């Protein structure tokens, strides 16, 4: 097992794009080579070591044997773990936009908060956020028909708007509240929201959305029976009927 | 500039693979020249490619971009010292259009559909497309003024309107899309055949087509009418195609060219009564073209993968949107047209798509005379133009076609004749279908050939036509065609092995046709009333100003007696 620790040299005022911070990119490189990987700050193309200190085991190893530890604040650093297929990225603070984009495997673990577009179009693997996630977690890029297709996202805190937009598979679990329109245009994924939300499942055609707390439900959902899950009562709905949808929406009742 | 030792295919001048030197002087082909020497020893040399039917500029292209931001993620290239940034695949940005055409050895491309009302936008985009020469065809098929003139059988007023419309749009030729259908669509309907009546106008598509064809010949326009048939994209529509072609066969051409150019024939060569028994009628269409000489076509080849359908045939796009559940843009263009845009994916495993794929190839292979068939994909409706090398290699290689058919639905050999076609096109055929014929069909005298005085547009490919077996080595051919070794535009080396070296602005061709003032005076009474009552803008603000075409090339046409005086 190889561990590499990356620490920002200072607080960034201009955001950094660092899709090269990924176990797959590091696997075949020694520390010196990792230091010379490209990152962009604004419109300037520079080396990883210009902005970060890089320490750890020098010998290259397979991606699945690689752990990248990000120490300090990475909230201004975008695209970390993009397309990763294996290994671990462990973020001790918060992380910037587009973390775990198109991720296919491995673990992205974030102790703080995650900014918008967390795990956009994720295919597999697992993302865990101890704090909150921003908007469009597990969503699709603008205009794309599919967001997340597989894998697992777990957020202990709350999530922003458009959680799992255009979801095509995989599962998302939010401990707290979710913003407006979670699971919009859901085509087969699963979302669980521990708190409350607003207008879940707009235009959904398949999949399941469960809201433990309160939710304003669109009038285009058909109200069905009350069901019991793990001893709790949920009102079941089917929809979204504007799109002839066959999705399932469950909203908690009488838990208070 | 001197191009030495190439194997030249210039079929318009009777040169079929001869080793010869070419000379370019002051941007034009010449008999002698000095200057830079380009070594093309043994390599394939052809005139710059000419695309006579493509959708590269204007409101519908931009709508395609707006509704598919995901498309712009593909094909991104950062700016360089010479190039501005590129984005997109089916709907690239303006700069990418110019660079990608030039890289393939193409130097001319004509936008195939622009309503007069939106022509200013088209020209703004055309001007931003670097390198290549351009032009835009103008839509007349569902236009109120056109239909009124046709109804009143006032051919000279119709000709005056066509001339006025081309001048207002700075357009190159007469495009007709699903005639009458654009108007019917305003009422949620369509015309179902060429003898169906257009609501409120008491005219039929057949009358509109005949009227415009006659007006087109009266005006001696360089291009013929450019026709997108009624019932396009529907099973069983080949009868509409034959019926329409037969209408036009006795019209006398005013120039040495066809009477009608059929746009993207593939979409109108369908048999069957529904998508279930959908089959190819390409052999019937090809027989008709073989037996008649008044019509030309472009393939409108479909390739598997992503595309964006965009057309003034709005009811067709409504059907596409319903069929695919995809995004849909629907647009009304006041007194002129309607239109629509739907992103599309064509799948190998889907029988209908596989049959469509085969039909385009059947058409090109079954029509004997390559001068009658232009190679296109109706970019981006059938596939983006960057895939032309794929189409060309399919036409040149039977083994490649067989290998493809083997991956398709098992019904393909039963519903099409493609598997039984042995013909493999050679470099002369390809040079005609991508250069000489499109230029002749459009009436561009200085394009598509390498004779003295022609535009100095030359493409040189990294391929030895005397050595390469195009049937077996189709992968080599495809690679060579995708990236020209040298592309020369107007005597300037613009692209070398895929690297853009210079970005001179291309010219925009438009046709100014003269008509008797008395006809225009009669016409203006009608038009002033229409603008006062119905148009959202004033007549004074309607025509595209010359400021929008800083690199215009005006072609004069018109009634013969007036052109002699002028």
Identify from A38, A141, A143 which residue to disrupt to test chain B contact, counting B C-beta atoms within 10 A and taking the largest count: A143
In 3-state terms, what secondary structure has residue B21? strand
Rounded percentage of chain B residues whose pLDDT exceeds 70: 99
Summarize pLDDT for A4-25 with one digit per residue, the tens. 999 999 999 999 999 999 999 9
Q: Tell me which DSSP letter residue A133 carries.
A: B
pLDDT of residue A81: 96
Which chain B positions have a beta carbon within 8 Å of A142's beta carbon? 69-70
Decide: B171 and B138 in contact? Cβ < 8 Å.
yes
Where residue B164 falls among pLDDT bands split at 50, 70, 90? very high
ipTM of the predicted assembly exceeds 0.95: no
Is residue B170 within 8 A of residue B551, CB to CB? The reply is no
Question: Residue A243: what pLDDT?
Answer: 84
DSSP 8-state assignment for residue B91: S
B46-59+86-500: which CATH architecture?
Alpha-Beta Barrel (3.20)
* A141 with B71: Cβ contact below 8 A: no
Distance CA(B461)–CA(B427), nearest Å, equals 12
Residues from chain B that touch A45, judged by Cβ atoms under 8 A, are none
**Closest CA of chain B from A145, distance in Å:** 9
**Cα separation, B491 vs B3, whole angstroms:** 11
Cα B482 to Cα B557: distance, rounded to the nearest angstrom:
37
Rounded to whole angstroms, the Cα distance separating A202 from A208 reads: 12
Does residue B472 contact residue B399 with C-beta atoms inside 8 Å? Answer: yes
With contact defined as beta carbons under 8 Å apart, do B444 and B453 qualify? no
Smallest CA-to-CA distance from B165 within B178, B155, B179, B175 is with B175
Contact B41/A at CB under 8 A:
no
Q: What is the pLDDT of residues B106-160, one digit of tens each?
A: 999 999 999 999 999 999 999 999 999 999 999 999 999 999 999 999 999 999 9
Rounded to whole angstroms, how far apart are CA atoms B436 and B448? Answer: 4
B216: closest CA of chain A, how far (Å): 42
What is residue B564's predicted lDDT score, i.e. its pLDDT?
46
Q: Is residue B81 exposed (0-12), middle (13-18) or buried (19+ Cβ within 10 Å)?
A: exposed
Residues with Cβ within 8 Å of residue B77, at least 6 apart in sequence = B83, B85, B86, B87, B96
> What are the counts of helices (DSSP H) followed by strands (DSSP E) for chain B?
19, 24
Listed by number, the residues of chain B in 318-347 with a beta carbon closer than 8 Å to a beta carbon of chain A are 327
Cα nearest neighbour of B69 on chain A: A143
Q: Per this entry, what is the length of chain B?
A: 566
Q: Which residue is closest to A243 within chain B, CA to CA?
A: B325
The answer to whether the CB of B58 falls within 8 A of the CB of B114 is yes
Residues of chain B neighbouring A141 (CB-CB closer than 8 A): 69-70, 73
Q: Calculate how close chain A gets to B100, using CA atoms only, in Å.
A: 24
* Cβ contact B67–A141 (<8 Å): no
Q: Check residue B344 and give its pLDDT.
A: 95
The pLDDT value recorded for residue A153 is 98
Q: Give how far A204 is from chain B: nearest CA, Å.
A: 13
H or E stretch covering A249: strand A247-252
- Burial of B77 from C-beta contacts in 10 A (0-12 / 13-18 / 19+): middle
Tell me how many degrees the CA angle B554-B560-B563 measures, rounded to the nearest 5.
45
CB contact B67 to A (< 8 Å): yes
pLDDT of A256 reads 44
Closest residue in A to B325 (Cα) is A243
For A133, B100, B341, B464, the CA distances from B477, given in Å and listed in that order, are 51, 18, 33, 10
- Per the listing, tokens 């519903």 go with B415
Contact B71 A142 (CB under 8 A): no
Nearest to A149 by CA among A130, A128, A134, A165: A165
CB contact under 8 A, A141 and B69: yes
Banded model confidence at residue B559, pLDDT cuts 50, 70, 90: confident
Q: How far is A81 from chain B (nearest CA, A)?
A: 19
Omega of the bond prior to B89 within 30 degrees of 0, cis?
no
φ and ψ at residue A89, rounded to 5 degrees? -120, 120
CA-to-CA distance for B164 and B157, rounded, in angstroms?
Answer: 10
d(CA B128, CA A74): 40
Q: Find the mean pLDDT for residues B58-67.
A: 96
**CB-based contact (8 Å) between B390 and chain A?**
no
Interface membership of B73 toward A (CB under 8 Å): yes
Q: How confident is the model at residue B325 (pLDDT cuts 50, 70, 90)?
A: confident
Answer whether B205's CB lies under 8 Å from B177's CB. no
How many C-beta atoms lie closer than 10 Å to residue B422's C-beta? 6
pTM as predicted = 0.93
Which chain B residue has its CA at the smallest distance from A205's CA?
B325
Strand partners, A41: A16, A44
The DSSP bridge pattern shows strands A16-17 and A38-41 to be antiparallel
CA B334 to each of CA A86, A157, B319, B422: distance values in angstroms, whole numbers, following the listed order: 56, 53, 22, 49
Contacts of B71 in chain A (CB under 8 A): 143
pLDDT at B555: 96
From B73's Cα to the closest Cα of chain A, the distance in A is 9
Q: How many beta-carbon contacts under 8 Å exist across A and B?
A: 13
Q: What is the mean pLDDT of chain B?
A: 96
CA–CA distance, B436 with B156 (Å, rounded to integer)? 33
Contact B68 A141 (CB under 8 A): no
8 Å CB contact of B71 and A143: yes
Neighboring chain A residues of B68 at a CB cutoff of 8 Å = 143
Is the bond preceding B215 in cis, omega lying within 30 degrees of 0? no
For residue A246, give both structure tokens: 């066959």
Nearest-10 crossing angle of helices B119-128, B94-103: 50
The pLDDT of residue A254 is: 66
Query: Domains in chain A, ordered, with CATH?
Result: 2-252 (2.160.20)
Dihedral sign computed on CA atoms, order B3, B9, B15, B16: positive
Is B90 in CB contact (< 8 Å) with chain A?
Answer: no
B444 interfacial to chain A (CB closer than 8 Å) = no
Instruction: Please confirm whether the linkage preceding A240 is cis (ω < 30° from 0).
Output: yes
Query: What is the mean pLDDT, run by run of 10 residues, along chain A of 256 residues?
Result: 95 95 96 96 94 95 95 96 96 96 97 97 97 97 94 98 96 98 96 97 96 96 94 94 93 74
For the stretch B499-529, pLDDT in tens is: 999 999 999 999 999 999 999 999 999 999 9
A140 vs chain B: nearest CA distance in angstroms?
Answer: 9
pLDDT attached to residue B563:
46
Report whether B396 contacts B471 (CB < 8 A): yes
Task: State which residue of chain B sits closest to A141, comparing Cα positions.
Answer: B70
If you measure CA to CA, which chain B residue comes closest to A146? B70
Give the distance from residue A64's alpha carbon to the nearest chain B alpha carbon, in angstroms: 29
Virtual CA dihedral for B286, B291, B294, B300, nearest 10 degrees?
A: 10
Enter the DSSP assignment of B395. H
B35 touches B22 (CB < 8 A):
no
Alpha carbon distance, N-terminus to C-terminus of chain B: 36
SS3 B118: helix
Judge contact between B248 and B210, C-beta under 8 A. yes
């Amino acid at each position: 097992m190889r561990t590499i620790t990356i620490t920002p040299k200072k607080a960034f005022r201009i955001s950094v794009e660092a899709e090269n911070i990924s176990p797959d990119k590091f696997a075949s490189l020694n520390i010196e080579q990792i230091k010379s990987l490209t990152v962009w700050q604004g419109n300037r193309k520079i080396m990883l070591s210009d902005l970060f200190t890089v320490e750890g085991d020098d010998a290259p190893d397979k991606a699945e044997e690689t752990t990248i530890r990000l120490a300090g604040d990475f909230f201004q650093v975008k695209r970390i773990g993009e397309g990763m297929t294996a290994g671990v990225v462990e973020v001790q603070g918060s992380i910037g936009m587009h973390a775990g984009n198109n991720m296919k495997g491995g673990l992205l673990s974030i102790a703080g908060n995650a900014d918008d577009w967390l795990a956009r179009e994720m295919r597999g693997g697992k993302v865990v956020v101890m704090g909150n996630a921003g908007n469009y977690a597990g969503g699709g890029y603008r205009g794309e028909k599919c967001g997340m297709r597989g894998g697992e996202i777990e957020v202990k805190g709350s999530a922003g708007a458009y959680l799992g937009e255009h979801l095509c598979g995989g599962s998302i679990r939010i401990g707290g509240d979710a913003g407006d329109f979670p699971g919009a245009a859901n085509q087969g994924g699963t979302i669980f929201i521990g708190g409350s939300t607003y207008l879940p499942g707009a235009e959904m055609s398949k999949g399941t959305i469960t809201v433990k707390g309160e939710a304003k439900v669109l009038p285009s959902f058909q109200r069905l029976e009350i069901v019991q899950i793990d001893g709790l009562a949920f009102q079941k709905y089917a929809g979204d009927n504007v799109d002839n949808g066959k999705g399932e929406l469950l909203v908690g009742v009488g838990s208070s | 500039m001197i191009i030495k030792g190439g194997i030249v295919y210039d079929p318009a001048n009777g040169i079929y693979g001869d080793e010869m030197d070419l000379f370019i002087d002051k941007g034009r082909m010449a008999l002698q020249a000095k200057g830079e020497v380009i070594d093309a020893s043994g390599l394939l040399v052809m005139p710059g490619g000419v695309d006579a039917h493509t959708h590269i500029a204007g409101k519908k292209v931009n709508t395609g971009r707006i509704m598919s931001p995901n498309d712009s993620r593909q094909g991104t290239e950062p700016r360089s010292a010479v190039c501005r940034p590129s984005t997109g695949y089916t709907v690239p940005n303006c700069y990418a259009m110019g660079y990608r055409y030039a890289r393939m050895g193409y130097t001319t491309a004509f936008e195939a559909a622009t309503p007069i009302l939106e022509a200013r936008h088209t020209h703004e985009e055309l001007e931003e497309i670097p390198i290549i020469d351009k032009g835009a065809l103008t839509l007349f098929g569902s236009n109120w003024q056109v239909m009124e003139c046709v109804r009143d059988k006032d051919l000279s007023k119709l000709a005056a309107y066509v001339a006025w419309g081309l001048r207002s749009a700075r357009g190159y030729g007469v495009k007709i899309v699903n005639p009458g259908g654009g108007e019917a669509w305003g009422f949620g309907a369509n015309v179902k055949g060429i003898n169906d009546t257009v609501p409120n106008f008491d005219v039929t598509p057949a009358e509109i087509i005949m009227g415009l064809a006659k007006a087109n010949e009266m005006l001696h326009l360089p291009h013929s009418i450019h026709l997108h048939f009624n019932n396009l994209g529907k099973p069983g529509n080949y009868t509409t195609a034959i019926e329409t072609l037969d209408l036009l066969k006795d019209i006398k051409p005013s120039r040495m060219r066809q009477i009608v150019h059929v746009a993207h024939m593939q979409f109108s060569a369908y048999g069957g009564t529904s998508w279930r028994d959908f089959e190819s009628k390409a052999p019937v269409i090809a027989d008709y073209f073989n037996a008649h000489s008044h019509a030309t076509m472009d393939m409108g080849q479909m390739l598997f993968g992503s595309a964006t359908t965009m057309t003034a045939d709005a009811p067709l796009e409504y059907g596409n949107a319903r069929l695919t559940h995809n995004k849909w843009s629907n647009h009304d263009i006041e007194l002129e047209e309607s239109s629509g845009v739907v992103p599309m994916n064509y799948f190998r495993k889907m029988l209908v798509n596989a049959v469509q794929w085969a039909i385009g190839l059947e058409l090109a292979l079954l029509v004997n005379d390559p001068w009658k068939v232009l190679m296109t994909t109706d970019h981006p409706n059938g596939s983006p133009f960057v895939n032309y090398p794929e189409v060309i290699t399919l036409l040149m290689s039977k083994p490649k076609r067989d290998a493809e058919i083997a991956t398709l639905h098992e019904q393909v050999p039963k519903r099409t004749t493609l598997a039984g076609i042995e013909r493999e096109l050679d470099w002369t055929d390809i040079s005609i279908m991508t250069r000489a014929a499109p230029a002749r069909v459009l009436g561009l005298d200085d394009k598509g050939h390498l004779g003295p005085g022609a535009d100095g547009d030359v493409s040189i490919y990294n391929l030895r036509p005397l050595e390469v077996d195009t049937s077996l080595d189709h992968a080599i051919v495809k690679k060579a065609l995708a990236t020209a070794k040298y592309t020369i535009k107007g005597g300037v080396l613009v692209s070398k092995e895929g690297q853009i070296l210079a970005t001179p602005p291309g010219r925009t061709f438009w046709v100014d046709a003269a008509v008797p003032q008395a006809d225009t005076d009669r016409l203006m009474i009608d038009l002033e009333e229409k603008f006062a009552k119905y148009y959202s803008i004033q007549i004074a603000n309607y025509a595209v100003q010359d400021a929008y075409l800083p690199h215009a090339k005006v072609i004069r046409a018109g009634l013969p007696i007036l052109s002699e005086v002028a």
